[in-house]
Structure 1
């Protein structure tokens, strides 16, 4: 494993969890690895010193089994020249022997290495409290041996609804049949919206007479991040800090909304740590999150409960530690962070027990199909030696190099771990991942656009159901990075950017031989791609322009106005920008740029829309506020992009937008459109956007 211990520290930063950050020294040719690997995958070890490719022979580098006899194994040297990959071994206990002659440097800096490891057939649960504590003690010892003189402490807080008879908005989910939730959801003529520490329920059955049906108040310490609906269940997802327990919990609070005006609390489920995201598939809710245990306290306490806390009101009112038999250590990881997955059966009113599993090995990326869950985590390069005496260099964060992928097959509340693998580069977001006919596709960027010594490159990898490599497109758009990805069956569309926006069309019909078919270069870039039909894509992003910096004597790129494009990819080898519109001026933005849930879509009218905040260029680099609201466009393959509804409150004197009145989401119910802001809901006729009513929410 490539120095996975540093992942613990960065995940702590990203998750805003309490912890201590220490720069690690890299003395001698030390090995960084996990203790176990899966039978269906390779096991690997990384050293702090490079190895000689010519010395990777049976005489200098070999594996012995539990009887101290040489075992038949395939050993290869990684591209970084510091990683050895061992494969083709049956389950069992082994030792990797690396003679000192195999290292590029000789003398006191190197010594022969013997590294024990195990190949496992399937993921096993931790067997005892003692084994769990020994795991954390080993992590602690590994860190302590490498601490530098300087230490920096960082404080961190770190189904389709078949019951509805209305023609109404649904959440813009990535995968059909897999619900993701949002801050505004609609059912049965009622709008449910997140507001502060509660949920506003608006009776919108009569768009000319909007009424506040009720307000659901949650605990004052609970922050709601999203809502979801399944049958007559309203699910509120949030984070809560518990002072008595001294920890944070990710929670799912379930309400019966058979009577929307009088929702009834029926259940609360929680897991310790911070929420990564949720999914609902085949009638099951999945809570996915991370928990970082305070295992450094082992320095002061001989025994410590390092198991995550869980809560289920069906089981009782107390917070309990996750049973040891529910905890496993993910292969090829050296990470003290837990990935927690709680599965709740929502069928029959969500009355059955929840199933929570904890996996030692933190994750940050997520993709889910109806039958499989994929989690990813970045792998960081810590072979960065700071300049002597420069404290600022000590806190320079390591760079992402690769991505580790974990897979589970899911069937209701049953979750079965499949395996893990690594791919080169880092993942942008969930849309960079996809499952099709059992194969997993993932797009990554390797390197950084600002690194002139080692320019960035982009890759597409296709893996089979066991995460074994099938095919790849590598080194796409050197010097650029991925800005958006969309998979559509047998085609993949990738937008990269540095100075212009290339849209690549990639044929992935043959998973063993993916091929770039065509490329379109235009100014600007798309942050989000949305399919219109089989041969047209909508791109939402920014326009750009080139400027010259007199000091550095170099050109640089700046964003100007928002931009929406319609791409015609009917001729895959020659994609075209069929239609385009500019939205606002410099400084204009929309939540849809970074959160596709903000996209409004009505199939009957071919409408697409989103909230907007409009600015324009002022003097110098200043921007001038122009108004806020929403814009609705008719988008078709024949007519292109046509603005239909400009629902923007233009500013006459305000210098900045109002947070309370800024439109969060746009939804529809039957023939009416609604804009939902923090303190008001407005209704309009869907066909012509004539204003109907305004409901002020205090």
Structure 2
């Protein structure tokens, strides 16, 4: 993915009670909070100073309503001793009062706090331009930092609607929810991304491959993935609009009833950068983020801070999103928009696209057929100066927790459900899952390499309203999650630091998830794929222990690629039934960080992926050995057996040739195809005998 703006945690404005003075020479109490929460969730505020649990009483911590009258509310101190949770309040405006005596460091260094907040029953649209401008002015007033950004990499089993023929389908996480890929197959034709266009290869005769046509897009348009729906080819990408001075996430739709002559029928877009797409229930969802330049308010009195959208069926203009399509997410103070465009694909995608903007950014997502979950990291950005020093607070971002937002979706209708937080950060979409209406998520809290504050791993189960039902906490202290997979009533989690524990967790009872078994082996799996109900395929790296003379400590290094077959039929005693080592040190495959690169064929029990092979050289050097693809037969009975070693061996090159590197492996009927940037090769599926090569310039 491209770089995208991320949220910056902002310090809320605090009201200081009369009669209390601030000491300039000592750091004051600061609070981090959002202005609103929903009735189904707790509102919370985090302070920079620790609170006394014994002092969280009605005298020291209480809530008043808009008439300054005390009201009954549930007030709870968080585990970090710096966060207060307030719940059981009806919709309305309130103030939280925290007496200075409630803080551990009281006296003249601490002041009492009064913080205003609102409880809402449902998410409402922004009512006026003035309200939207005031939102950004408040962010600007409370922020002493310029917004920053970071690159986010998406690491990111079903038959899709458009692929009823006997050919490859995308390796999707959820059955019935299409995710798209850089190569898709339909009716004997292979569509693949190449530079700023798409090549269409006629592969109906695997012995005579032909270039059917090339779809050219503008050079300013970067293509990230393709998807299919009936006779529609959906091209997803980003493009920079120089005249407008912004970037757009786009979905360009072609009619491919005649694959040799695709017809452009529509383009829709939303401002910002693409996060991902999903297609389910005949609807395309385009999900992304947009960061408005609200700091320009310092120089201008008013400016348009609404995201822009584009739909070719409505004209050539880029339009600002109407206010009734914009909402401010509760429990967040974030200048980033999460944008969701929903497009009905039925009848040739002729209906109007529905775009909604939510102020509250996101970086991860999971989608079922009926719900969309977006996640965003919560940063603990405070570093309190030592006593007696006169200096500002130092903002050093460190991911601590994850905020989750949920929408129920029904076609183009998107209804916001609510938000909650869980401890730790989430690895990727495979660490999330929905089952029987409950949401499950695996996180890592802390840093596995921090010896002062040891890392811990957790599994949380939330109900349809994102209320916690149950949890497994403090799993594998000192390690971090490297991969996870949910399979119905079981969850499988791989953690790693020096060895690879595979945990089997029973999640059948959402109120009481239980660790059933654990397997410790060298190496780790980046990706877990279900073979059947009692077997898992793990793809990752082997490792070895080395000794550092300087630090006098052992350390772990990766060596060759590794694929394992785990037998979990005895949940309390999981076993590594079969394993293969692939290449030597330095070898890798895209499948290790992108499961879309996994090739599958049920008829032959084939699993495969592109590979780039290296081997050991002198000292710590690695030597390039070759590139291509490997195909394995994997069964519960025989384990892992190499069937096709489709690798072009090195003839003296130091590194792989990017143009010839296999990007995907697909099949059509009885033929297998490897797709590289400059060539497509065909083979017999049963024995991998070469059939033809098509060069693409």
Structure 1 length normalisation: TM-score?
A: 0.94
Question: Structure 2 CA distance, aligned partners of 1:230 and 1:431?
Answer: 24
Question: Structure 2 CA distance, aligned partners of 1:387 and 1:184?
Answer: 56
Question: Hey, what does 2:133 align to over in structure 1?
Answer: 133
RMSD value over aligned CA atoms?
A: 2.3
- SS of equivalent residue, structure 1 residue 50: coil
- SS of equivalent residue, structure 1 residue 179: coil
Question: Hey, what does 2:404 align to over in structure 1?
Answer: 405
Question: Hey, what does 2:629 align to over in structure 1?
Answer: 630
- SS of equivalent residue, structure 2 residue 430: helix
Deviations 1:596-637 (CA, angstroms, capped at 9, x unpaired) = 000000000000000000000111111000000000000000
Question: Hey, what does 1:544 align to over in structure 2?
Answer: 543
Confirm or deny: 8 A CA contact 2:591 2:597 kept in the other structure. Answer: yes
1:469 CA drift (Å): 0.5
Confirm or deny: 8 A CA contact 2:382 2:396 kept in the other structure. Answer: no
Query: 379-388 or 360-369: which moved more?
Result: 379-388
Question: Structure 1 CA distance, aligned partners of 2:693 and 2:109?
Answer: 74
Question: Structure 2 CA distance, aligned partners of 1:686 and 1:105?
Answer: 71
Question: Hey, what does 1:4 align to over in structure 2?
Answer: none
Q: Which runs of 5+ in 2 are unaligned?
A: 13-23
Counterparts of residues 230-245 of structure 1 (less than 5 Å): 230-245=229-244
1:398 CA drift (Å): 1.6
1:653 CA drift (Å): 1.1
Question: Hey, what does 1:594 align to over in structure 2?
Answer: 593
Question: Structure 2 CA distance, aligned partners of 1:519 and 1:299?
Answer: 56
Question: Hey, what does 1:328 align to over in structure 2?
Answer: 327
Confirm or deny: 8 A CA contact 1:19 1:155 kept in the other structure. Answer: no
Confirm or deny: 8 A CA contact 1:32 1:45 kept in the other structure. Answer: yes
Question: Hey, what does 1:53 align to over in structure 2?
Answer: 53
Question: Structure 2 CA distance, aligned partners of 1:219 and 1:651?
Answer: 36
Question: Hey, what does 1:189 align to over in structure 2?
Answer: 188
Question: Structure 1 CA distance, aligned partners of 2:674 and 2:303?
Answer: 51
- SS of equivalent residue, structure 2 residue 137: helix
Question: Structure 1 CA distance, aligned partners of 2:450 and 2:101?
Answer: 33
Confirm or deny: 8 A CA contact 1:20 1:154 kept in the other structure. Answer: no
Question: Hey, what does 1:255 align to over in structure 2?
Answer: 254
Question: Structure 1 CA distance, aligned partners of 2:229 and 2:184?
Answer: 11
1:113 CA drift (Å): 1.1
User: Closer, same or farther in 2 for the Cα pair 1:485/1:47, shift >3 Å?
Assistant: same
Question: Structure 1 CA distance, aligned partners of 2:394 and 2:117?
Answer: 32
Question: Hey, what does 2:96 align to over in structure 1?
Answer: 96
User: Closer, same or farther in 2 for the Cα pair 1:551/1:67, shift >3 Å?
Assistant: same
Counterparts of residues 424-439 of structure 1 (less than 5 Å): 424-439=423-438
Question: Hey, what does 1:294 align to over in structure 2?
Answer: 293
User: Closer, same or farther in 2 for the Cα pair 1:448/1:108, shift >3 Å?
Assistant: same
Question: Structure 1 CA distance, aligned partners of 2:194 and 2:39?
Answer: 49
User: Closer, same or farther in 2 for the Cα pair 1:397/1:100, shift >3 Å?
Assistant: closer
1:100 CA drift (Å): 1.2
For this pair of structures, how many residues does the alignment match?
Answer: 678
Confirm or deny: 8 A CA contact 2:664 2:674 kept in the other structure. Answer: yes
1:236 CA drift (Å): 0.4
Question: Hey, what does 2:19 align to over in structure 1?
Answer: none
Deviations 1:323-372 (CA, angstroms, capped at 9, x unpaired) = 01100000000000000000000011000000000000000010000000
Question: Hey, what does 1:272 align to over in structure 2?
Answer: 271
User: Closer, same or farther in 2 for the Cα pair 1:396/1:590, shift >3 Å?
Assistant: farther
Query: 24-33 or 230-239: which moved more?
Result: 24-33
Structure 2 length normalisation: TM-score?
A: 0.94
Confirm or deny: 8 A CA contact 2:287 2:338 kept in the other structure. Answer: yes
Counterparts of residues 105-504 of structure 1 (less than 5 Å): 105-144=105-144, 161-162=160-161, 164=163, 166-385=165-384, 397-504=396-503
Question: Structure 2 CA distance, aligned partners of 1:16 and 1:553?
Answer: 41
Q: Which runs of 5+ in 1 are unaligned?
A: 1-12
Confirm or deny: 8 A CA contact 2:501 2:519 kept in the other structure. Answer: yes
User: Closer, same or farther in 2 for the Cα pair 1:612/1:396, shift >3 Å?
Assistant: farther
Confirm or deny: 8 A CA contact 1:19 1:294 kept in the other structure. Answer: no
Question: Hey, what does 2:607 align to over in structure 1?
Answer: 608
Confirm or deny: 8 A CA contact 2:7 2:336 kept in the other structure. Answer: no
Deviations 1:145-168 (CA, angstroms, capped at 9, x unpaired) = xx6xxx898899999555655300
1:110 CA drift (Å): 1.5
1:21 CA drift (Å): 12
Question: Structure 2 CA distance, aligned partners of 1:509 and 1:19?
Answer: 36
Confirm or deny: 8 A CA contact 1:673 1:683 kept in the other structure. Answer: yes
Question: Hey, what does 2:3 align to over in structure 1?
Answer: 15
Query: 91-100 or 18-27: which moved more?
Result: 18-27
Deviations 1:529-567 (CA, angstroms, capped at 9, x unpaired) = 000000000000000000001111110000000000000
User: Closer, same or farther in 2 for the Cα pair 1:84/1:19, shift >3 Å?
Assistant: closer
Question: Structure 1 CA distance, aligned partners of 2:623 and 2:161?
Answer: 46
Confirm or deny: 8 A CA contact 1:401 1:426 kept in the other structure. Answer: yes
- SS of equivalent residue, structure 1 residue 631: strand
Question: Structure 2 CA distance, aligned partners of 1:674 and 1:577?
Answer: 31
User: Closer, same or farther in 2 for the Cα pair 1:461/1:20, shift >3 Å?
Assistant: closer
- SS of equivalent residue, structure 1 residue 314: helix
Question: Structure 1 CA distance, aligned partners of 2:9 and 2:426?
Answer: 24
Question: Structure 1 CA distance, aligned partners of 2:612 and 2:510?
Answer: 42
Question: Hey, what does 2:507 align to over in structure 1?
Answer: 508
- SS of equivalent residue, structure 1 residue 62: strand
- SS of equivalent residue, structure 1 residue 140: helix
User: Closer, same or farther in 2 for the Cα pair 1:153/1:665, shift >3 Å?
Assistant: closer
Counterparts of residues 668-687 of structure 1 (less than 5 Å): 668-687=667-686
Confirm or deny: 8 A CA contact 1:152 1:395 kept in the other structure. Answer: no
1:109 CA drift (Å): 2.6
1:19 CA drift (Å): 11
User: Closer, same or farther in 2 for the Cα pair 1:466/1:244, shift >3 Å?
Assistant: same
User: Closer, same or farther in 2 for the Cα pair 1:207/1:271, shift >3 Å?
Assistant: same
Confirm or deny: 8 A CA contact 2:608 2:630 kept in the other structure. Answer: yes
- SS of equivalent residue, structure 2 residue 208: coil
- SS of equivalent residue, structure 1 residue 611: strand
User: Closer, same or farther in 2 for the Cα pair 1:43/1:395, shift >3 Å?
Assistant: closer
1:125 CA drift (Å): 0.4
Question: Hey, what does 2:16 align to over in structure 1?
Answer: none
Question: Structure 2 CA distance, aligned partners of 1:432 and 1:354?
Answer: 30
Question: Structure 2 CA distance, aligned partners of 1:348 and 1:196?
Answer: 30
Q: Does 1:519 align with 2:507?
A: no
Deviations 1:26-62 (CA, angstroms, capped at 9, x unpaired) = 9411222111001000000111111111110000100
Confirm or deny: 8 A CA contact 2:4 2:149 kept in the other structure. Answer: no
Question: Hey, what does 1:584 align to over in structure 2?
Answer: 583
Question: Hey, what does 2:561 align to over in structure 1?
Answer: 562
